[in-house]
Structure 1
Amino acid sequence: MIPAIFVVVGMLLMIVNAVILTSIVDGIVAETVAGAIADGRDNLEDWESDESWINSTDERAYYAYNIANIDAINSGETDAPEFELIGPAIYTVTTHREILAFDEDAGEMTYSEYDVFEWCENCIHDGKASISGDTELTNVNILYNTQKIAGLSTGITYGEIFAKAGFANAMMVNDLQNRAPSIWSAAEINMMVDGVAAQLVQAGYDEATASAMAPAAYLNAAYANWNASAGGASPMDPDFTEVANYILYDAVDPSTGNCIALTCEIGPMLAAGIGEPADETTAVRAALYGYSDRLDTTLIDWTVYALAGTTFLSNGGGEDLESAENLRERFRTATDPYINQDSNGNGIPYDDGMDITDPDTLNYLLFGINQDTGLGAGLLTETDFNGIPLNGVALLLLGAQSNPFGTMVEYSVNLGQVLALADYAGGWIGMVGTMTEFEAILIGGEGTINADLWWQISFGSVEPLEGGYLSIGLNRADHAGDADLTLEKVREILYDGPFALTGDFATVFMYGELSGKTLPTGADGIPVSGGAQVDWNDELIAGMYGIDTEAASALRSWVKDLMFDQVIGALLVFQYETSPYTTQSLNNWLYGWRDIAVADTLGDIDDMTLGWVSLETNMTYYGSDGVSTGDYSVYKMSTGSGPDGLDSVEHRIAQGYISGETGEIYDMSEYLPWRAPAAEEYTYGLLTDHVGNADTTLTGTIGSIGDADESFKVNLVGYATADSIVGDNVVYKGIPSTHQIQAKLLGTGTILDVMPGGLPIYFGSTVDLKVEPVTNVVMYGKSVSRFYLDLRGAGSMNPDFGSDVQPVFEIHTFGEISDEDAASFKEAVLDNMGPTYWTNFDSGKDAMYIDYVAVSIYIIGIVMMAFGSMKLLESNSKNKEEE
């Protein structure tokens, strides 16, 4: 029995050593490691001396999707982009931190940090060398829809300017084609009457009598000429005695009092323009020139018509301007009354206007096309720009306002002539000085029409000059005839009403069009968080503006289909050279490019510190000559020395910013900055639904220490937070181990942040973390974050990620414990745990004693088992011999 006891005792010693003592030692090691972690992070000096934390460096690899067929898209061959993946472009990211406050008792530390990115020429990611950061990339202009929405009210104003440029074009054509010949005709008629008076003086009449007799005598001669040309059709002669002075000198427009006599500026073209005598035309002309209700009305009317028409045509009235040989004279005469503010005294020819002596200069000024842009440069030129009629007069005036010297060079004119052009053309379009008035009597109307009145009439009803409907008014396309609005109603819709489209409400209107709902609204009709939303439809719009549903439908189509889909985009291209696609280097895409539309929105297109945007946040914007990306971020985190101990070590508590000017910390909260309650309030409570989740807080997100056995919270580079999923145990280097982001990228603090499809970018990230179970330190981390573009455009939400979206950027990050540190960790921690913990005799003083005890127990156990086994063998041998 004694040998057997030795064997059993030896085995028990081995088991005790392997199981019980191992568990005790593992616990001691774990507690020692935990204590070491706590001791290494529990005071300010620990953090300040940790250079790898104060200035940490990682690598980040970027992949991007380049539009390979941009030329085909720009030429109109296709509208479907073809994407090709390029990359990786690898950058080193150095994070610089500064400790701002340290509270050892509370276990909290506050620090600021900022990143500096540098392209890594020699870096490799997944076996691929880094491509240059200067590599050109063509992709979607992610700000395009937002610029269109934000610029809607301004775009409507500019659209109005370009519409009124069409009116100005027509007016200037009329000036050159008809008004100048009419002025010459009036002067000629006046001169002819004076000639008759001179003849009468020669015949013996005194000057006063001759002057009194001359008008009737002149009209008698005019009648005789007409009658002869008509073959002597009339058996009687009309009597001009009582009406001659009125016809030639005194006739006025009854609605304005402006002179319309045949010796006045517009008299000849008006009298001729009414048309050949007939019942209707004769009645109109006779009423205007004072010979109605006479027996000889018809004969007088033929005389007036023939005199005005013959003289007007002989002076080039109605002639095709492009074939006219006297453009210089026409332009000088047409511009004189507007430049010199002359009154149109009877018979005074205008010859003090702009005198452009060089034919090529005048031809370009009137009919030119800018060879660089392909757009109209001349006052009378109209070109098509992305489906929008663009008149050169608007481009000339806008150019003269912003760059007078450039206008002088382009048009080969001097500064005085630029100013004269601005006075003349600007008056017709309504951009400079007092608006020029067009005499409505020339088109059978009353009063006068200027650019503003023409636009307002044409916008909501029939175009007053030629009839029909304006292609950029409410009665456009399929909505022809749907609207017949008063001027008061048009002004209410565009300018004066509570829902005026040239004000801030344009953005609200667009929200309704894109979302199909109103903003959340309280009982008082004011947008408010938690308010009620109703359907955005024709009936609602009709009620808002006090119009019928047909006009409401036309208005909605005008805003969405014309202004937003066509006009605003064309204006962005024209004004800022902005387009739906952008080509620039990867460095620009990631770390900074200047958008002049944004700069203009912020107040000064020429201020080079404004308008910078980026996808990543470097210390300064790339290519900006040092323009800061803004105040540094500030974080508060747990150090593990507070009430929660190691359970919360390196967990984030709050985030905010520090002012670069004052050093003041502000906006500290437990929320992701772009998901803070204030952001929700700015968007009337729509942000959470728009993003697609309610994960708004960053409190509890881990740093470098997690929990190997429990789910923990991860901050995905400020775009989102997510909870980890515990996976299987693995051995690593010997160590066991999507939502909408429009509001973050824009950050306007307005409903633009939640405008459906305003910036249709979605974010998704896959993260793989390996946490060592003794220390809970993250030994390995790899993430792939993707930015997706919703290809369906503005107004679309909740895409099918299998068919509706296209990845546009990928960010790959990777971090791991080094081979050297892994070996050290394995020796210092893991080699002191488990059944073979005792084999490591350099584990420290206390643990070394346990190692010696453990090996002694193993030796004793082995000896006892060996001794007992030998005795049992001897006993068995003796028994066999005795048998």
Structure 2
Amino acid sequence: GWFNDSTSLPMVLLGGSGEMTASLFVNTTFGAEDPLNGGYLSTSLNIGQEDGSSLWELLGRDAIDLHPTLSGHILYNETTGLTTQGGAVLFLYGELSGQTPPIFDGNSLPWNETTISTMYGVDENVSSAMRLLMMGDPAKAGIYGTTADAKVPGYLMSNGVMPYLTQSFNNWLLGWQDAATGDWLSLETNETYYGSGGVANGDGTNYTMCTGEAGGCDQGETLAEDGSTYLSWRNEAMATETYGLITPESLVGTTGGFLTGSGDKVDVSGYAIADITCDGTSTVKGIPVDDCSASVTATERNIQANLLETYTLLDATPGALPVYFGSEITMQAEQLSGLIIAGESSSTFYLDTRAHTSQASAPSMSDLEPVFEIKSSSMIGDDDAEEMESAIVQNQDMLSYWTNFDSWIDWVTLLFWVGGIAMIAMGMIGAGNASTESDSLATAAAMEDADDEADSSDGGDEDAA
């Protein structure tokens, strides 16, 4: 009954007055002295030591004595309460980024004692104590931090959670059970998780592609993913929940296997959308191709929101899961159809090794440690290449396009060729025959003339006699 306030402690038993409930005890001890035992609790604004003394006073600051109602507001109010998910993440975001999200009429404010005082309705002495309690300093571990001394990491590590996880390749791709939540996690979207006993992870991903028949898009381009025109982790819902810190990124127009030569883009495994540039030509198995490439700069591509995908401010909080992604892609597209017939890619995942409090700015490559690499390549098969070379390359030859006989028109062309050759032959034969006949007629005429002359000569001789 104590934990749900159904019973209370009469304070008269301790020389006081009134009733003390569990919630009143929490609110009182968070911002003031322990009303039951005296001294201060360790998880309080006064930061009690083992002997109950106040670390805050030992640091030369004034002891904090808040009314329980104000302490309850700091802890539990729906917008900024330190014990609520939204409030805790908001405080962490401020500490790690150095500013608030754009929540003040669309603007951000510097994260300091003045801003915190305004947000929680306290003075700067209290706001300074809140920062020490939440984040700690070299002399005092706070609630959040990176070592087991801090309360949250210490609790997680006590349950088997480690800062870094090493496991088999099958587990990384096909799934593992998270020690903190008990849920199954996976780097892939296969139907079931590895070793999960058949626990399904969803219905997969459905893509809507352009066939080129309706117009308004090019054949093979992506139009939507699961009904959305955005990357799953860079959509309008994510932008709303992160106050616009993570902007929507459209996947419309990304290639599905064809290139147009103008404005082409590629969806890099759902992690990024990259522009494709073509700047040369070559051949692949005898097929003329355009040489194209695309790249993703690792220092500019934080994929934390993709890996967390909580749809809260945590996805945009610096250092929550500081993973970056880079990729280099080459592809060769057949020049006439634009069909991609060969390509390769090298994609690398990097971990930002800077301190969590230094990750609000973009890293340099020296800050990034490669932790995972995926290389892939593909090329058209020999049989398909031969068929394409015949269908596309040879069919463009004005004289010999028909010699592969891959269409009925090739047989018609053959008939024309045969007919044409036959007509030429017949013409030549006809011309030859005509020439022979002319020669025969000329010879006959000459012989007839000769006979006439002979007759005339004979007649003249007789008269002379």
**Equivalent pair of 1:640/1:648 in contact (CA under 8 Å):** yes
Q: Separation in 2 of the partners of 1:483 and 1:826?
A: 84
**Equivalent pair of 1:789/1:805 in contact (CA under 8 Å):** yes
Per-residue displacement from partner, 1:621-651 (whole Å, max 9, x unpaired)?
221122222133222222122235xx71111
* Residue of structure 2 equivalent to 1:545: 120
1:220-231 to 2 correspondences below 5 Å = none
Offset of residue 714 of structure 1: 0.9
Q: 1:475 aligns with which of 43, 46, 64?
A: 46
Aligned pair in 2 of structure 1 residues 829, 449: CA closer, same or farther (>3 Å)? closer
1:240-255 to 2 correspondences below 5 Å = none
Q: 1:741 aligns with which of 283, 300, 303?
A: 303
Q: Taking structure 2 as the reference length, what is the TM-score of the superposition?
A: 0.72
Offset of residue 461 of structure 1: 4.1
Q: 2:253 aligns with which of 673, 697, 700?
A: 700
Offset of residue 577 of structure 1: 2.3
Q: For residue 729 of structure 1, give the secondary structure of its aligned residue in structure 2.
A: strand
**Equivalent pair of 1:483/1:550 in contact (CA under 8 Å):** no
Q: For residue 181 of structure 2, give the secondary structure of its aligned residue in structure 1.
A: helix
Offset of residue 462 of structure 1: 5.0
Q: For residue 813 of structure 1, give the secondary structure of its aligned residue in structure 2.
A: strand
Aligned pair in 2 of structure 1 residues 520, 633: CA closer, same or farther (>3 Å)? same
**Equivalent pair of 1:719/1:744 in contact (CA under 8 Å):** yes
Aligned pair in 2 of structure 1 residues 592, 781: CA closer, same or farther (>3 Å)? same
Question: 1:768 corresponds to which letter in structure 2?
Answer: T
Aligned pair in 2 of structure 1 residues 498, 743: CA closer, same or farther (>3 Å)? closer
* Residue of structure 1 equivalent to 2:132: 557
1:813 lines up with 2:380 in the alignment: no
Question: 2:383 corresponds to which letter in structure 1?
Answer: E
Q: For residue 233 of structure 2, give the secondary structure of its aligned residue in structure 1.
A: helix
Question: 2:65 corresponds to which letter in structure 1?
Answer: L
Count of aligned residue pairs for this structure pair: 388
Q: Separation in 2 of the partners of 1:519 and 1:819?
A: 56
1:484 lines up with 2:37 in the alignment: no
Offset of residue 771 of structure 1: 0.4
Per-residue displacement from partner, 1:197-251 (whole Å, max 9, x unpaired)?
xxxxxxxxxxxxxxxxxxxxxxxxxxxxxxxxxxxxxxxxxxxxxxxxxxxxxxx
1:865-880 to 2 correspondences below 5 Å = none
Q: For residue 144 of structure 2, give the secondary structure of its aligned residue in structure 1.
A: helix
Q: For residue 618 of structure 1, give the secondary structure of its aligned residue in structure 2.
A: coil
Offset of residue 681 of structure 1: 1.7
Offset of residue 546 of structure 1: 3.3
Instruction: Name the Cα RMSD after superposition.
Output: 3.6
Q: 1:653 aligns with which of 212, 223, 227?
A: 223
Q: Separation in 1 of the partners of 2:368 and 2:6?
A: 51
**Equivalent pair of 2:239/2:246 in contact (CA under 8 Å):** yes
1:512 lines up with 2:60 in the alignment: no
Q: Separation in 1 of the partners of 2:206 and 2:25?
A: 57
Aligned pair in 2 of structure 1 residues 838, 651: CA closer, same or farther (>3 Å)? closer
* Residue of structure 1 equivalent to 2:184: 612
* Residue of structure 2 equivalent to 1:768: 330
Q: Separation in 1 of the partners of 2:188 and 2:10?
A: 54
Q: 2:266 aligns with which of 714, 734, 738?
A: 714
Per-residue displacement from partner, 1:36-60 (whole Å, max 9, x unpaired)?
xxxxxxxxxxxxxxxxxxxxxxxxx
Q: Separation in 2 of the partners of 1:816 and 1:467?
A: 76
Return the structure number with greater helix share.
1
* Residue of structure 1 equivalent to 2:200: 628
Q: Separation in 1 of the partners of 2:25 and 2:215?
A: 75
* Residue of structure 2 equivalent to 1:725: 277
Offset of residue 560 of structure 1: 2.1
Q: Separation in 2 of the partners of 1:546 and 1:676?
A: 35
Aligned pair in 2 of structure 1 residues 577, 632: CA closer, same or farther (>3 Å)? same
Question: 1:815 corresponds to which letter in structure 2?
Answer: S
Q: Separation in 1 of the partners of 2:268 and 2:341?
A: 18
Offset of residue 833 of structure 1: 4.1
* Residue of structure 2 equivalent to 1:179: none
Question: 1:687 corresponds to which letter in structure 2?
Answer: I
**Equivalent pair of 1:783/1:813 in contact (CA under 8 Å):** yes
Aligned pair in 2 of structure 1 residues 547, 672: CA closer, same or farther (>3 Å)? closer
Q: Separation in 1 of the partners of 2:373 and 2:404?
A: 48
Aligned pair in 2 of structure 1 residues 636, 546: CA closer, same or farther (>3 Å)? closer
Higher relative contact order (CA 8 A, sep 6+): 1
Q: Separation in 2 of the partners of 1:538 and 1:672?
A: 38
Unaligned runs of 5+ in 1: 1-425, 524-530, 600-610, 657-667, 689-693, 861-883
1:5-16 to 2 correspondences below 5 Å = none
Q: Separation in 2 of the partners of 1:743 and 1:594?
A: 20
* Residue of structure 1 equivalent to 2:161: 578
Aligned pair in 2 of structure 1 residues 498, 714: CA closer, same or farther (>3 Å)? closer
Q: Separation in 2 of the partners of 1:733 and 1:470?
A: 76
Aligned pair in 2 of structure 1 residues 802, 462: CA closer, same or farther (>3 Å)? same
Aligned pair in 2 of structure 1 residues 830, 580: CA closer, same or farther (>3 Å)? same
* Residue of structure 1 equivalent to 2:462: none
Question: 2:144 corresponds to which letter in structure 1?
Answer: F
Q: For residue 250 of structure 2, give the secondary structure of its aligned residue in structure 1.
A: coil
1:676 lines up with 2:235 in the alignment: yes
Aligned pair in 2 of structure 1 residues 507, 625: CA closer, same or farther (>3 Å)? same
Aligned pair in 2 of structure 1 residues 516, 628: CA closer, same or farther (>3 Å)? same
Offset of residue 815 of structure 1: 1.6
Question: 1:581 corresponds to which letter in structure 2?
Answer: Y
Question: 1:569 corresponds to which letter in structure 2?
Answer: P
Per-residue displacement from partner, 1:443-475 (whole Å, max 9, x unpaired)?
xx6469887776655543456788765544323
Per-residue displacement from partner, 1:823-871 (whole Å, max 9, x unpaired)?
33223432444588479464555447768869x99xx9xxxxxxxxxxx
* Residue of structure 2 equivalent to 1:592: 175
Q: 1:567 aligns with which of 143, 151, 156?
A: 151
Q: Separation in 2 of the partners of 1:494 and 1:480?
A: 25
Q: Taking structure 1 as the reference length, what is the TM-score of the superposition?
A: 0.40
